[in-house]
């Protein structure tokens, strides 16, 4: 039964340029199949087919609790608009679904996270790869709930790794409520309850965006991280080696990107902008693509797009470019 927080996508949002009706000139809006889960089931994948299922998380209650700039609740709507004209660079056998959104209502962040987790578990069980558009980074704990439930059923004993492109560790303890700053601490505690290791790599960390307490927590939890200043051509060998070692240590990867990892002039529309964030340069893109070339990513999300604060849709277009790489992979 679909949760009351579910909101189907209006298919009219997927509109854009049409260069023809042959597949070699298709754009995403010509490929996306909008599915209303209140009325129909996800299509069953046939032999030889794969699929990506988009689900939006219309929530910034966690950002609000974390004293951030609200507005990311509108992120999924904006992502659909800017992604509609992306060119199709994947085989016809790949299905691209839009399953709608999970909304946070009545400030019930925890209920929304549970609801999103169940949708993600369903997507994975049906053989699709989820791509979740947020929403604040409270999306991460919701996403983990779904991936964890799926792995417990289908891949018990396998090691899950989390790769987060982010300026922040997001390892705060709930005080007293969880927020957009607590998801990975919550995940660490959940993994501990299950007697499983917490395998977490953060890429893009900024020292002036994290307290010493957060660094201490990261060290206590054996968190791996690569600082933003290391994402340069000069350091590409060291960063690539560190990423490779992490990928080799896990069986599956949940990959999440917080748009505030990027410098403010590239991504002004975020809940907490950073003047000294990273550039989406070739070094960054090589690392990002390497994660997907590993073949271990089973689920992805993009968080913290705040259209109310965006300039010329810079943040949204950058998020769409990352989504393009995710689906193409």
Q: What is the DSSP letter of 94?
A: E
**Residue 313 lies inside a defined structural domain of this protein:** yes
| DSSP H or E segment with residue 143 | helix 139-154
- CA dist list (Å): 308 to 7, 58, 100, 291, 316: 21, 14, 21, 30, 11
**Residue 95 lies inside a defined structural domain of this protein:** yes
Q: Which residues pair with 278 in a beta bridge?
A: 262
pLDDT of residue 179: 94
The C-alpha atoms of residue 51 and residue 329 are separated, in whole angstroms, by 11
**Residue 64 lies inside a defined structural domain of this protein:** yes
- Consult the annotation and say whether 258 binds a ligand: yes
Please count the other Cβ atoms lying within 10 Å of the Cβ belonging to residue 327: 22
Positive or negative, the CA dihedral 171, 172, 178, 180 is negative
**Residue 262 lies inside a defined structural domain of this protein:** yes
- Consult the annotation and say whether 168 binds a ligand: yes
The C-alpha atoms of residue 119 and residue 113 are separated, in whole angstroms, by 10
pLDDT of residue 1: 56
pLDDT of residue 204: 96
Read off the CATH number of the domain in which 270 is found.
3.40.800.10
Residues 6+ apart with CB under 8 A from 304: 63, 72, 75, 134, 135, 136, 137, 180, 258, 259, 260, 270, 271, 272
pLDDT of residue 234: 67
Q: Which residues pair with 94 in a beta bridge?
A: 50
**Residue 303 lies inside a defined structural domain of this protein:** yes
- CA dist list (Å): 277 to 206, 227, 270: 7, 10, 12
pLDDT of residue 111: 96
pLDDT digits (tens, 9 = 90+) for 154-194: 999 999 999 999 999 999 999 999 999 999 999 999 999 99
The C-alpha atoms of residue 202 and residue 239 are separated, in whole angstroms, by 12
Please count the other Cβ atoms lying within 10 Å of the Cβ belonging to residue 235: 15
pLDDT of residue 236: 78
Cα 101 to chain centroid, rounded: 14
pLDDT of residue 13: 97
**Residue 1 lies inside a defined structural domain of this protein:** no
pLDDT digits (tens, 9 = 90+) for 311-329: 999 999 999 999 999 999 9
Q: Which residues of 250-260 are buried (b: 16+ CB within 10 A; e: fewer)?
A: bebbbbbbbbb
Domain total in the chain: 1
- Full domain range(s) for residue 84: 6-328
Q: Taking all residues of the chain, what is their mean pLDDT, rounded to a whole number?
A: 95
- Consult the annotation and say whether 260 binds a ligand: yes
Which residues does the chain have with pLDDT short of 70?
Answer: 1, 234
Share in percent of the chain as helix, strand, coil (round to 5): 40, 20, 40
The C-alpha atoms of residue 229 and residue 211 are separated, in whole angstroms, by 17
SS3 (DSSP) at 135: coil
Q: Are strands 252-258 and 6-7 parallel, antiparallel or unpaired?
A: unpaired
**Residue 196 lies inside a defined structural domain of this protein:** yes
């Amino acid at each position: 039964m679909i949760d009351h927080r579910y909101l189907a996508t209006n298919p009219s949002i997927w509109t854009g340029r049409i260069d023809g009706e042959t597949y070699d000139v298709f754009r995403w809006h010509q490929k996306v199949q909008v599915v209303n889960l209140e009325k129909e089931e996800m299509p069953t994948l046939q032999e030889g087919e794969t699929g990506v299922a988009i689900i939006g998380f219309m929530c910034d209650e966690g950002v609000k609790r974390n004293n951030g700039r609200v507005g990311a609740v509108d992120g999924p709507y904006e992502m659909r608009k800017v992604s509609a004209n992306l060119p199709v660079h994947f085989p016809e056998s790949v299905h691209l679904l839009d399953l709608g959104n999970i909304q946070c209502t009545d400030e019930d962040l925890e209920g929304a996270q549970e609801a999103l987790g169940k949708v993600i578990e369903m997507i994975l069980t049906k053989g699709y790869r989820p791509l979740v558009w947020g929403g604040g980074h409270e999306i991460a704990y919701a996403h983990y709930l779904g991936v964890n439930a799926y792995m417990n059923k289908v891949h018990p004993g396998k090691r899950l790794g989390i790769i987060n492109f982010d300026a922040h560790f997001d390892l705060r303890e709930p005080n007293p409520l969880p927020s957009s700053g607590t998801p990975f601490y919550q995940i660490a505690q959940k993994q501990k309850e299950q007697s499983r290791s917490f395998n977490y790599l953060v890429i893009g960390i900024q020292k002036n965006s994290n307290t010493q307490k957060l660094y201490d927590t990261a060290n206590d939890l054996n968190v791996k991280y690569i600082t933003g200043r290391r994402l340069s051509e000069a350091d590409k060998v060291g960063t690539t080696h560190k990423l490779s070692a992490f990928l080799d240590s896990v069986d599956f990867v949940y990959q999440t990107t917080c748009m505030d990892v990027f410098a403010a002039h590239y991504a002004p529309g975020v809940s907490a902008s950073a003047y000294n964030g990273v550039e989406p340069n070739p070094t960054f893109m090589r690392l990002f693509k390497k994660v997907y070339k590993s073949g271990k990513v089973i689920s992805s999300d993009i968080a913290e797009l705040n259209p109310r604060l965006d300039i010329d849709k810079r943040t949204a277009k950058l998020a769409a470019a990352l989504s393009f790489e995710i689906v193409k992979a």
